[in-house]
Amino acid sequence: MKIPQLIVLLALACTCAFAAQVQDDAKAKAKADSIESIKKHLNGKVRNAEYSFENDADQDGIADSLDKCANTPRFIMIDSVGCPVDSDKDGVSDDKDVCPNTPDSVKVDSVGCPVDSDKDGVSDDRDKCPGTSSDIHQVDVNGCPRDADKDGVFDEFDKCPNTPEGIVVDIRGCPKDTDKDGVYDGKDECPNTLLGVMVDSVGCPFDTDKDGVYDDKDECPNTPEGYAVDSVGCTIDDDRDGVINPKDECPNTLLGVKVDSVGCPLNKKQDLNLLRKGINFKTGSAELTQNSTPTLDDIVALLKEFDNVNLEIQGHTDNVGKPAKNKILSEDRAKSVLDYLVAHGIDSTRVRSAGYGQEQPVADNKTAKGRAQNRRVELIPFYKDETK
C-alpha cells in the first residue's frame, strides 16, 4: 500500500474512534442525568429497583441522613422522609391498608379497617349496640339486633314478627294469652277463663241470654233479657213462691203459702204485706197500740202453721227528729213485735229484729203521706239455709 493511502486510513480510524468516544461520553452523561432526575422525583413514588444509590441503605431514594424509616422494604410507596405512605392517617401504611379511606380518629385493626369488637358487621364507631351477643346474626345499620315489631324479642327469635305495637308478649315474641283461650291478654276482658271454656271475641265465656252468667254455668240459659238472676243464671224468686221477683207483687210470701199469678197469697191472713200494715205504735213510742193485737195474733198463727219459716221484724221511721234517736226508736219498735210473738208461743230462735231508722225510706219524706209510709214495720221471712 502506498504511504498516502495508509495515512488516510489512519486518519479515518482516529476520527471514528473519537466519534465513538464522544458518543459514549454523551450516553454516560445522559444516564447520570437520568439517575439524578429519578432521585429528585422519587419522593412519594415507588422505588425503582433498577437503580442503586450511594448512602441510601434501603434504596428508597431518600439519603440515609434524611430517612426517618431507614429499613423500608423494597417497592413501598414512601413519603418525603422515607416512611411508608399512610394516606388516611390510621397508623397502617397504604401497602397493608385494606381499608385505605378510614375516617379520622376511627380505631382500626392490624389491616387498617375500623374495629368491630362484637363481630356484627358494624364497626365500633357506628355501633350503637356494641355488646351484641355472638348468637345474634341480624343487626340493623346501627349494629343493634333487628326487632321489626318493637316487641322486645329480636326478629331471628320472634315467632310472631308482626305483633301490634304496645302488646305484651311472651319469650317467643307472641302476644301473651295467660288463660290460653285464644284471645291475647291485651284484648282479653276475662283474663282468667277456665281452660277449655268457649269464649267470644273479647275472651269472655259466651253468655247467650245476656244475664251475666256464662253459658257453661247457666242452668237457665234462656232467661228473658233484663231479668235479675241468681248465681246459676236463673231468674230470682226470693220468697220461693214460684213467681219471679220482677212479676211478684208480694215478694215476702211465706214458703208454702198458695199464691195467685202475681205472687200474692190467696188467703189474705197469710199475706205479710197486709198484716204488717196492722201493726201500730203510740206516737214517738215503741209501745204497741191496742188495735195491733188482732194482727199480731194472725202472725203468731201463721208462724205456727208454717213452722219451717223464720221471721225478721224490721223497724223504720220517717226523717222527723234526730237520726240517732230515730234509729233507736226503730230498733225498739221491732223488738216490741218480736217480744209479743215470743210471749205468744213462737220460739225465739225463729225470730229476729233490726232497726234501720230513717235510712231506708220507701216514699218521699217531704209529704205527710210519704212520711206515714216510711213509718213502718217490715216482716221478712228467712230460712235455715240462709245466712243472717
Q: Report whether 286 contacts 333 (CB < 8 A).
A: yes
Cα–Cα dist 210/353, whole Å: 38
- Closest listed residue to residue 54, CA positions, set 72, 78, 73, 32: 32
Cα–Cα dist 178/193, whole Å: 9
Q: What Rg value do the Cα atoms of the chain yield, rounded?
A: 57
Say what the pTM is. 0.46
pLDDT tens-digit map of 259-285 = 999 999 999 999 999 999 999 999 899
Cα–Cα dist 271/328, whole Å: 28
Other beta carbons less than 10 A from residue 165's beta carbon: 7
Cα–Cα dist 350/384, whole Å: 9
- pLDDT value of position 285: 94
**Residue 232 in grid coordinates:** 246459676
Whole-number average pLDDT of the chain? 82
Angle between helices 293-305 and 323-343 (to 10 degrees): 60
Tally the residues of the chain. Answer: 388
- pLDDT value of position 377: 96
Other beta carbons less than 10 A from residue 268's beta carbon: 11
Q: What distances in angstroms separate CA 204 from CA 180, 191, 225, one per listed residue?
A: 12, 8, 18
pLDDT tens-digit map of 152-164 = 778 777 778 877 8
Share of residues in the chain with pLDDT > 90 (%): 32
DSSP H/E element including 381:
strand 376-382
**Which domains does the chain possess?**
248-382 (3.30.1330.60)
Q: Which residue has the higher pLDDT, 140 or 341?
A: 341
